[in-house]
A and B are shown apart, each in its own frame.
Chain A
Amino acid sequence: MHGNKDHQADQIRAISGAEDRKCMKCGKCSASCPSYDVMDVRPHQFVSYLRGGDIDAMLNAQSIWKCVSCFACVERCPQDVKPAQIIEAARLMVIRQQGENYLSPDDVPELLDPELPQQLLASAFRKYAK
């Protein structure tokens, strides 16, 4: 699903502009994070996973949807690593995965729900059917 690890790691570095190699593991990012308690993977772990090439752990983390992009970690990181931008890049990677988020017209009837606003379905179809 995720292809070449090194390539993906470099992609995240390119998207985020973050420099995981500068990290000195002080934990300031996690200590500053307001969403820390609800995260399965913590901000400092994202940096560590990127450094170690464990991209799957980042892309599968629920944390990428819990980060509120307050940028406290970016603001306070003494080494200018930019953890929030790594999380943002992971989010974009998941969204951009080719073919993984394809919605076929045949699948639509199954998703119909009387509670669901029609606009949502239409916009989801527009976004994921390309």
Chain B
Amino acid sequence: MQRIGVFVCHCGTNIAGTVDVDEIVKMVKPEQGVVHAADYPYMCSEAGQSMIINAVKAHNLSGVVICSCSPRMHETTFRKAADKAGLNPYMVEIANIREHCSWIHKDKAEATQKALILTRAAIAKAQLNSPLFPDESPVTKRALVIGGGIAGIQTALDIADAGFEVDIVESTPSIGGKMAQLDKTFPTLDCAACILTPKMVDASAHENITLYTYSQVDKVEGFVGDFTVTIRQKARSVDFDKCTGCGVCSEKCPSKKSPSEFDQGLCTRPAIYTPFAQAVPNVPVIDREACLKFKTGKCGLCETVCAPKAINFEQEDELVARKYGAVIMATGYEPVALDKFGEYSYSDSPDVITSLEFERLTNAAGPTGGDLIRLSDKRKPKSVTFIQCVGSRDVTQRGKAYCSKICCMYTAKHAMLIKEKYPDTEVNVFYIDVRTPGKAFDEFYRRAESEYGVRYIKGQVGKVIDNGDHLQIQAVDMLDNKKMDMKTDMVVLATAIEPVKSAKSIATMLTASIDTNNFMTEAHPKLRPVESPTAGVFLSGVCQGPKDIPETVAQAGAAASKVIGLLVKDKLMSNPCTAKPDALYCNGCSICENVCPYGAISYEDCEVNDHGVREVWHVAQVNKALCQGCGACVVTCPSGAMDLQGFSNRQIQAEVDAICR
């Protein structure tokens, strides 16, 4: 028989305002097993916890029921208090009389009755609690960062500086990500490459950082502290150790017709290429779909001209399996496809471009050397029109319901860059709302209009028509309620951003959750913004939600500090509330193995003692380190062989009985 103490929290007036706390204390005292009951204004406070600890000792309690807020809030607090009192932490039960009762009811008598029933259920469950002991699992002191943009680079640098080894997996041939493609950065207008390339070099030179470029994550196994990740290093066809990065191969390559990914397809690149001049590592890759040697068997010119003999056409993909304690998602974003937005003529007119294409066009290292020209006739545009919110803030199936957050600022930047270079250009910006919260952000946007004379027109554009030597814009000035039928030479679309396509499959491999837009979900939107609900998985950069460079860098550092906090630990305590099979009842059907979302169940041959008869049966086994205690196997087991420790079938039946009493 348990000796149970019941502690009822007022939570100020949060609970006591709706639930008669004194009545609860009075009513639970006669309950079976209850030897002590008390109330306190704030049970979670230091004084409240001392009260529990003292009562455990004074009344020799074997179990504790706390009537308070949700266990999500303070279960850990009260378990720690129990531990201090010398009680097994898993002998604590919470009756949620706040979120499930006082907050959702108005009638005090009814709420009190419900609180009493919830408390009785918790007491019934506590009667059947037994001490549980967490297992220890080791921590591999190495982190994996998926994505080598500014988010991934910053996270890796911060973890590496703390003394831990970090690997970066990047799918393209170079780290740098989207930031490497940008021209200037708002609101200071410093050159993106000038501030990014030193970080790229730092990452590459850091003794604790290993780069896996032109690579992808193929498989993830394991759990927090002990992930095993298989990385596929795609065949570069160039020997990493021999290549000196001289660039002669790219120069001589006769197949130069492939659209340059780095330049957003605005120009072409050779089949053997590095994405851009400052690429890290500065080792080219052969695009086998474009390479003549791979397509026809003839050519091999690069091999002939390569002095250090680094070209290797026979190279194959290499699989590397490594152990990691933590995984950081830093997979970033890409602009949405515009094929559903026919009215802007993006697919029909070369002079309608996206903002990312504009970045390349205005970049001194870009395909035009920084000259802003119309792609159709190479003419300098006399007038440029920007259209904001293309695909953003669009709840229809064409677009994204969210605000892409960065477009207002980069459009103001683009407008100013044009005015700076070519002051005679007429620049118009069509906007729905201008959103510029942030340090020195609104001042920046206002300067575009007041100092540079950029014209901001409120109203979304209806149609863009390519008339050959100019573009016709059909729009409405919402503030003047007047039609704008204007000619312009170039249209720049502030295109919505979305997580990269691979984010979903990587998240699935990590069993980390994503939202309806494929952004990674945080463990808590406010209080745990850089952690995934899946233990050991952390979030950095736009994979979690749209954000600009300063925010990305800040979040990257935050993710790194969380990872460091994990990696400094030698051992992790696992949750003991895991599934436990009873071999005698197990019929070997494997249904539980199939429903387990964590891959924690396997079937093994075990010796079973069936009433004195020893036999070897093929039965379910649970890996306690992998099991998250979700209970899916328990409810699916047709023979009732599976049970969840801390939430056993008997306990749940006892709760139901108590509620229905």
Interface residues of A (CB under 8 A from B): 22, 24-28, 30-33, 36-37, 42, 44-45, 72, 76-80
Contact = CB atoms under 8 A, between A and B. Distances in A.
B395 A32 contact: no
Contacts of B459: 26-28, 30-31
Given A42-B476, A42-B481, A33 B395 contact: no
Interface stretch (B460-468, B553-561, B574-582): B460-468
21 contacts: A24-B433, A26-B432, A26-B460, A27-B432, A27-B458, A28-B462, A30-B462, A30-B476, A31-B460, A31-B474, A32-B462, A32-B474, A36-B476, A37-B483, A44-B478, A77-B396, A78-B396, A78-B398, A78-B460, A79-B395, A80-B395
A30 B463 CA distance: 11
A72 B463 CA distance: 11
Interface of B: 343, 389, 393-396, 398-399, 432-433, 458-463, 474-476, 478, 481, 483
Contacts of B463: 31-32
A128 to B, nearest CB: 35
A27 B483 contact: no
A69 to B, nearest CB: 17
Nearest to B400: A78
A60 to B, nearest CB: 17
A13 B356 CA distance: 41
Given A32-B463, A76-B462, A24 B393 contact: yes
B396 to A, nearest CB: 5
A72 to B, nearest CB: 8
A51 to B, nearest CB: 15
A129 to B, nearest CB: 40
Nearest to B479: A27
A25 B396 contact: no
B273 to A, nearest CB: 39
Contacts of B458: 27
Nearest to A42: B481
A78 B398 CA distance: 8
List the 5 closest A-B pairs by CB distance, nearest first: A31-B462, A78-B394, A27-B459, A32-B462, A28-B460
Nearest to A76: B343
B478 A78 contact: no
A47 to B, nearest CB: 12
B170 to A, nearest CB: 34
A102 to B, nearest CB: 36
A22 B462 CA distance: 19
Nearest to B475: A31
A32 B458 CA distance: 15
A123 to B, nearest CB: 37
A24 B462 CA distance: 15
Nearest to A33: B462
A36 B432 CA distance: 19
A44 to B, nearest CB: 7
Contacts of A45: 481
Nearest to B463: A32
Contacts of B396: 77-78, 80
Given A24-B432, A25-B432, A76-B343, A31 B395 contact: no
A26 B479 CA distance: 11
B394 A25 contact: no
A94 to B, nearest CB: 23
Contact of B478 (A22, A25, A32, A77): A25
Nearest to A45: B481
B476 A78 contact: no
A78 B462 contact: no
Contacts of B389: 26, 78
A111 B393 CA distance: 53
A30 to B, nearest CB: 4
B457 to A, nearest CB: 10
A42 B394 CA distance: 21
A24 B474 CA distance: 19
A25 B432 CA distance: 7
Q: Among the interface residues A26, A30, A79, which one has the most CB atoms of the partner chain B within 10 A?
A: A26
B432 A31 contact: no
Given A27-B458, A31-B459, A31-B461, A78 B395 contact: yes
A42 B479 CA distance: 13
A127 to B, nearest CB: 36
A42 B459 CA distance: 13
Contacts of A22: 395
Contacts of A28: 459-462
Contacts of A31: 459-463, 474-476
A31 B461 CA distance: 6
Nearest to A78: B394
A79 B478 CA distance: 17
A117 B394 CA distance: 50
